[in-house]
Chain A
Amino acid sequence: MKKKIAIIFLLTIISLQIYNSFAVQRFPKPEFESGHTQPPTITPDPRSHALAVLDVFVLAAALTVVTWLVLKKRSRNGVFWMSVFAVLYFGFFREGCVCSVGSLQNVTLALFNPEYSIPITVTAFFVLPIVYTLFFGRTFCAGVCPLGTIQDIFALRPLPIKTWLEKVLGIIPFIYLGLAILYAATSTDFVICRYDPFIGFFRLDATFMMFAIGGIMLLIGVFIARPYCRFLCPYGALLNLVSRFSKKHLTITPTECIQCRLCENSCPFEAIDKPVLLKEKEERPIAVRRFLMYTIIIPVLILIGGFTGSQFHENLASANSKVRLANELINETNFGETEKEAFEITAFKASGQTKTELYTEAAKITKQFYYGGWMLGGFIGLVFGLTLVSLTIFRYKEDYTPNKGSCLSCARCVDYCPVLPENKIELNKSI
């Protein structure tokens, strides 16, 4: 009976309520006669801050060890085992976030968005590999980056690819870098994280699409070593530029190159520059004229790129959720939903923001994309121009040396060099 009265009572109250109003204390908390104690609300703690600091130390330690292995110990085996460690620790144990590659976007967001302040550990993840690269070459790529090392382990049957193809594909990371910065600066999206192909493996959980992309990437990686690092990674593009001016760098030979050509095909990334002999060199006036011509083209390319980029600013901006919402509202497209109102529009109505406010905000973001489009396009033009120019340059060199930009310091070539540190030749080394 009591129960029924209670039900009737509740139903009457419910019928009087205004629906959708949230968190209203409609029914007071009861006083229990039976002495029942109320359980506490369970709120599990997040991963502790100390562990995040520990990660930074592990990163620094791993960088130091790999650098030592590459430059001093000259041990490919050592680098390989560090790669395995990186995949296990930074990949599977830490489940991928935050990584140095993604931290690029946090830094950009912190620089452009006044509301976001960046955790010091994330800054450290961004800065440490660059500092090491500035002094020792891309040792981060060699054995610390989980995305790179997982591909490195899969690089089983590397095949050479054509130089022109490599040069063309080599431009993609810079475009990706520009896009990632544009989207992070406008607080739109973290594209690098969103399209990270290997994070699904590290977490053993991802959408089918991302698993497929990651799987294909690893499969390609068996034949074309490290495809993500060479032809996509935006942080790699940054390190590529920095590494060109590194103080020290991996050398193929410990002392002097004897031009035995044993290392010639050892690099799976084709980052070994072969000797360029004097007789191959063109006559100077011709070379200079062509060089100057290409140099004059660069500003033109920048302008063309910038203009093209700015023409696409609306397309670029449509990835921003606010701009998208404004577009959908103006065009009354309802996010392609036909049956009911889209969640976004319901939520917008509930938020109490007026349409005018939203449109002003969207217009402001679109304007940012206009300038961003100019800069992105100009940057892409610059990259194209410089790539062209670099193709015209001959640099006389006698020895086999790693290309400081594209060399990932994996130390594979080191094993092929028969020269011993004491300037002797190791004769009975079997390769």
Chain B
Amino acid sequence: MAKKEKKKGLPASLPNRQGRKAGLNRRDFIDKGFRFSIAVGLIGIVGSLFKKSQAKEYVWQLDPSKCTHCGRCATSCVLTPSAVKCFHVYDMCGYCDLCGGYFRPSSKNLTTAAENQLCPTSAIERKFIEEPFFEYHIIEDLCIGCAKCVKGCGAFGNGSLQLQVNHRLCVNCNECAIARDCPADAYQRVSIDDPYLFAGFEQKKEG
């Protein structure tokens, strides 16, 4: 509305250079008015955001309890390889010899031979501790976040292998590309102070 007013005024403002310089003409007045209203609008926006503000940033994290192990974390991330990695929650691990996350279901014998491994990049290291326990380490550099081991561990074991966004790698996109593609809506913005969401781990943390 006001915009039209300004334009309407124009044909009238004929070349009057002296007059323009002399004082506050219509043009200056309109400019000032608009400047003022933009400033007020901006203050209004900031004011209404004030209640909805929080001091710290968000980071993206996925909720493993919602995860369906579809494998898109490996492919949808803006980074290659993905910033989503498998994390091993040792507190939940049963140290099984027959590890559902390590071995393919069809494995004939439980050796570290490549054909037995579920992980496509051999990113899980199997280490003998004592009879009959084995410890599994994730080699972060090799992990691509495909969730194959996570699925296996969740189905056959304790679910101690969980996908999480590795915040050392994550570039924290304004809109996470994996969150957009996640079929289970498992991604959410979490506080920077508590950036990991391990599932089934609460009691352990408190205790």
Do these two chains interact? Answer: yes
Question: Are A27 and B87 in touch, CB under 8 angstroms?
Answer: no
Question: Are A7 and B7 in touch, CB under 8 angstroms?
Answer: no
What total count of A-B pairs have CB within 8 Å?
Answer: 243
Docked pose: A85 CA to B68 CA in angstroms:
43
Contacting residues of chain A (97-136) with chain B, CB-CB under 8 angstroms: 97-99, 102-103, 105-107, 110-111, 116-123, 127, 130-131, 134
Complex contacts, A386 vs chain B, CB 8 Å:
3
Interface size class of B (residues with CB under 8 A): 35 or more
A396 contact from B14, B49, B57, B66, Cβ within 8 A = B14
Docked pose: A120 CA to B58 CA in angstroms:
11
Docked pose: A343 CA to B185 CA in angstroms:
11
Question: Is A45 interfacial (CB-CB < 8 Å)?
Answer: yes
Given A245-B38, A291-B8: A41 touches B183 (CB 8 Å cut-off): no
Given A22-B159, A131-B42, A247-B35: A49 touches B57 (CB 8 Å cut-off): yes
Contact flags B164-207 to A (C-beta < 8 A → 1, else 0): 10111111111101001001110001001001101110000000
Docked pose: A97 CA to B59 CA in angstroms:
12
Question: Are A33 and B35 in touch, CB under 8 angstroms?
Answer: no
- Closest CB-CB distance, B205 to chain A, in whole Å? 11
Question: Are A29 and B95 in touch, CB under 8 angstroms?
Answer: yes
Question: Are B42 and A97 in touch, CB under 8 angstroms?
Answer: no
Given A110-B49, A190-B174, A393-B10: A49 touches B97 (CB 8 Å cut-off): no
A29 contact from B56, B87, B94, B167, Cβ within 8 A = B94
Contact flags B130-145 to A (C-beta < 8 A → 1, else 0): 1111010100100000
Question: Are A242 and B38 in touch, CB under 8 angstroms?
Answer: yes
A245 contact from B31, B87, B196, Cβ within 8 A = B31
Question: Is B53 interfacial (CB-CB < 8 Å)?
Answer: yes
Complex contacts, A284 vs chain B, CB 8 Å:
11
Given A44-B167, A350-B184: A206 touches B78 (CB 8 Å cut-off): yes
Question: Are A36 and B137 in touch, CB under 8 angstroms?
Answer: no
Given A43-B87, A43-B196: A203 touches B78 (CB 8 Å cut-off): yes
CB nearest to B43 among chain A residues: A127
Given A30-B94, A205-B80: A193 touches B175 (CB 8 Å cut-off): yes
Docked pose: A32 CA to B95 CA in angstroms:
10
Given A23-B64, A49-B57: A32 touches B196 (CB 8 Å cut-off): no
- Closest CB-CB distance, B206 to chain A, in whole Å? 15
A11 contact from B42, B98, B167, Cβ within 8 A = B98
Question: Are B195 and A46 in touch, CB under 8 angstroms?
Answer: yes
- Closest CB-CB distance, B70 to chain A, in whole Å? 4
Interface size class of A (residues with CB under 8 A): 35 or more
Contact flags A161-201 to B (C-beta < 8 A → 1, else 0): 00000000000000000000000000001100110000100
Complex contacts, A98 vs chain B, CB 8 Å:
174
Question: Is A346 interfacial (CB-CB < 8 Å)?
Answer: yes
Complex contacts, A42 vs chain B, CB 8 Å:
87, 140
Question: Is A209 interfacial (CB-CB < 8 Å)?
Answer: no
Contacting residues of chain B (67-82) with chain A, CB-CB under 8 angstroms: 68, 70, 72, 78-80
Given A22-B154, A43-B196, A47-B172: A120 touches B97 (CB 8 Å cut-off): no
Complex contacts, B53 vs chain A, CB 8 Å:
110, 117-120, 123
CB nearest to A25 among chain B residues: B158
Complex contacts, B56 vs chain A, CB 8 Å:
49, 119
CB nearest to B140 among chain A residues: A42
- Closest CB-CB distance, B87 to chain A, in whole Å? 6
Question: Is A347 interfacial (CB-CB < 8 Å)?
Answer: yes
Given A123-B46, A242-B38: A347 touches B175 (CB 8 Å cut-off): no
Question: Are B156 and A291 in touch, CB under 8 angstroms?
Answer: no
* Partner-binding segment picked from A12-20, A68-76, A151-159: A12-20
Complex contacts, A189 vs chain B, CB 8 Å:
175, 180
- Closest CB-CB distance, A62 to chain B, in whole Å? 20
Contact flags A285-303 to B (C-beta < 8 A → 1, else 0): 0011001000100100000
Question: Are A39 and B90 in touch, CB under 8 angstroms?
Answer: yes
Complex contacts, A398 vs chain B, CB 8 Å:
17
Binding site for B on A (CB under 8 A): 2-3, 6-7, 10-11, 14, 17, 19-20, 22-30, 32-34, 36, 38-47, 49, 52, 95-99, 102-103, 105-107, 110-111, 116-123, 127, 130-131, 134, 189-190, 193-194, 199, 203, 205-206, 242, 244-247, 278, 284, 287-288, 291, 295, 298, 321, 342-344, 346-348, 350-351, 386, 389-390, 393-396, 398
Could you list 11 A-B pairs, sorted by A, with CB under 8 Å? A3-B97, A3-B131, A29-B92, A30-B133, A36-B130, A38-B90, A52-B57, A119-B54, A193-B174, A246-B35, A347-B68
The 8 nearest A-B residue pairs measured at CB: A27-B94, A23-B200, A23-B159, A44-B168, A46-B167, A190-B175, A347-B184, A6-B132
Binding site for A on B (CB under 8 A): 3-4, 7-8, 10-11, 13-15, 17, 31, 34-35, 38-39, 42, 45-46, 48-49, 52-59, 64-66, 68, 70, 72, 78-80, 87-98, 100, 110, 129-133, 135, 137, 140, 154-159, 162, 164, 166-175, 177, 180, 183-185, 189, 192, 195-196, 198-200
